[in-house]
A and B are shown apart, each in its own frame.
Chain A
């Protein structure tokens, strides 16, 4: 009798442990998804920084007397690369976006440049990088929403509380205008 009771109790306990582990693992998976999504944003911002020197070189060959505009872009990029902290980086990225926008306006005046294969390729890369920044932000927000819902709702909130899973912030563009995608229009 005691034997059976112990067995039943043991079985229930085992099930409970399995369930508990599953919840914990689910949370870990979600947290990793969130982390990856965040890393993607940084990867893409860095990629934009890497593209700019090429762009400047290509434009230089055709529009050498737009020296001032080109210099502004280079400077803004340097500032964005070296910026530290969310606030500073936000400002730097915004400056960079503005400078890029002006450069693209200037470029309109050079039909030869717009027919250049190299430039067209760069244009595709820049468009795509901007898209990627946008999509990375979107994927990050989606995963954070999921994660936060899990953390707040019963019964996962118990596990989350025990193992210190904390809510993540959404990536709001207004708050962190840093990561704002520049409105570069090629048309």
Chain B
């Protein structure tokens, strides 16, 4: 187990070194090009000018790398957690999660329990941050807690803790900094080149840049190097995903837990939506929030979920690294050569998996589930659903041409929610609605809700609808959304 961590570290250092070489090469090439340009073209440039230019370019690349790296080291965790909207949890927030993190800390042999963060988001997902196991953190969305039972949650937490213990976070921080650095330099150079007209009027006086052959080489390098580092990055973040899955199975002794969690999460994941799932965050999540199933190939940060599930499912009642590797070979058709998983499997023996835990399954009542499905179907049919304070839910058909509706049980009269016209600067609200004006709508609650556009089209908003406006599908009017009172879904009407 400890050998595997060491193997993981060695491979990481190799990859980091390789990416660093690419970064410096890129810097040096650009520097050489600039050096000849400043010297007034290739026919005037002495070899010293080229060398000095190359040196300066490499130095600048190094400085950019260091600056990014220092930011990542000293600010990385906080930036990541804040941009995901995470808040640190206390032990009384969710005992089950708290205990599971405790359990996995023990099972993994970590000396320090990672801090635990909650993200208010219905999308089920989780990630881990922290360069050192001593100050690492695990973040979990509220959607995940709602979706998974104890065994499944344990699998997911084990996967994240495995990332911490295998020192994946440190590597991924370093690697993503390098990716960012290379992309920054390459993009900056290409953009500058485009602006100066293909290397033409670089300094204003000299008409030639660094000469065409050199220019072509530099441009090719500038285009290829971001792709190269990205591929390197993705390739190893993929086997890291496998290794973390294997470790999770080993820690929990229950591969089916993680497998079933992954299945559920893949079904439920609708993408974290909005800017919250920034590209840089994606590899950290247990399920890639940006990934569509079809696009899972070379460019996916974690291995395809279907593969991960079928590997975990075909471990045949065993839970060791050896067993995971055998299952992986069966599913993918080949071993993962030179990966840390191989090293882990070599020194591990097959261990037996346990059965599901005795926790009572929190079963949803059949009637509640049926009601949920019905509501969803009605929403697709553009019904408005208004929960009345007397307890029943009024379903307003889309072709009902009225502004209010009477509750059939308690006779309360409810207005049908409708987007309103924003007041024009001149105050002429009564003016007939034109095609391109803006409407506004104040949200009633956080959950599902529907309202009507001025054109009569029903618009449904899901929980966690991230934007502050929406566009009517029928009349294309922009509708500004204002957040209503926060908190629990509020039934309409007054008691």
CB distance from B448 to the nearest CB of A (A): 28
Convert B149-160 into 0s and 1s, putting 1 for each residue whose CB lies closer than 8 angstroms to a CB of A: 010000000000
- The residue from B1, B95, B106, B349 contacting A136, defined by CB atoms under 8 A apart: B106
- Cα distance A37–B2 in the bound complex, in angstroms: 14
Instruction: Please give me the residue from chain A that is nearest to B354 by CB atom.
Output: A134
Interface size on A, residues (CB 8 A): 27
Given A138-B253, A146-B1, does the pair A36, B111 have CB atoms closer than 8 Å? yes
A127 located at the interface, meaning its Cβ lies under 8 Å from any Cβ of chain B in the complex: yes
A68 located at the interface, meaning its Cβ lies under 8 Å from any Cβ of chain B in the complex: no
Which B101-117 residues sit within 8 Å CB-CB of chain A?
102-104, 106-109, 111
Given A135-B107, A139-B109, A146-B1, does the pair A124, B99 have CB atoms closer than 8 Å? yes
CB distance from A122 to the nearest CB of B (A): 10
CB distance from A30 to the nearest CB of B (A): 8
Convert A17-53 into 0s and 1s, putting 1 for each residue whose CB lies closer than 8 angstroms to a CB of B: 0000000000000100100110010001000000000
Residues of A within 8 A of B96 (CB): 124, 128
A185 located at the interface, meaning its Cβ lies under 8 Å from any Cβ of chain B in the complex: yes
B interface majority secondary structure: helix
Interface size on B, residues (CB 8 A): 24
A187 located at the interface, meaning its Cβ lies under 8 Å from any Cβ of chain B in the complex: yes
B43 located at the interface, meaning its Cβ lies under 8 Å from any Cβ of chain A in the complex: no
**Which of B68-76, B292-300, B357-365 lies at the binding interface?**
B357-365
- The residue from B102, B108, B358 contacting A187, defined by CB atoms under 8 A apart: B358
When the two chains form their complex, are residues A128 and B360 in contact, meaning their CB atoms are under 8 A apart? no
Instruction: Please give me the residue from chain A that is nearest to B358 by CB atom.
Output: A185
CB distance from B165 to the nearest CB of A (A): 11
A79 located at the interface, meaning its Cβ lies under 8 Å from any Cβ of chain B in the complex: no
CB distance from A136 to the nearest CB of B (A): 5
- Cα distance A143–B360 in the bound complex, in angstroms: 32
Which B95-148 residues sit within 8 Å CB-CB of chain A?
95-96, 99-100, 102-104, 106-109, 111
When the two chains form their complex, are residues B360 and A139 in contact, meaning their CB atoms are under 8 A apart? no
Identify the B interface with A (CB < 8 A).
1-2, 95-96, 99-100, 102-104, 106-109, 111, 150, 251, 253, 347, 349, 357-361
List the 6 closest A-B pairs by CB distance, nearest first.
A128-B99, A135-B107, A135-B106, A187-B360, A131-B103, A139-B109
Identify the A interface with B (CB < 8 A).
30, 33, 36-37, 40, 44, 121, 124-125, 127-128, 131-132, 135-136, 138-139, 142-143, 145-146, 149, 183-187
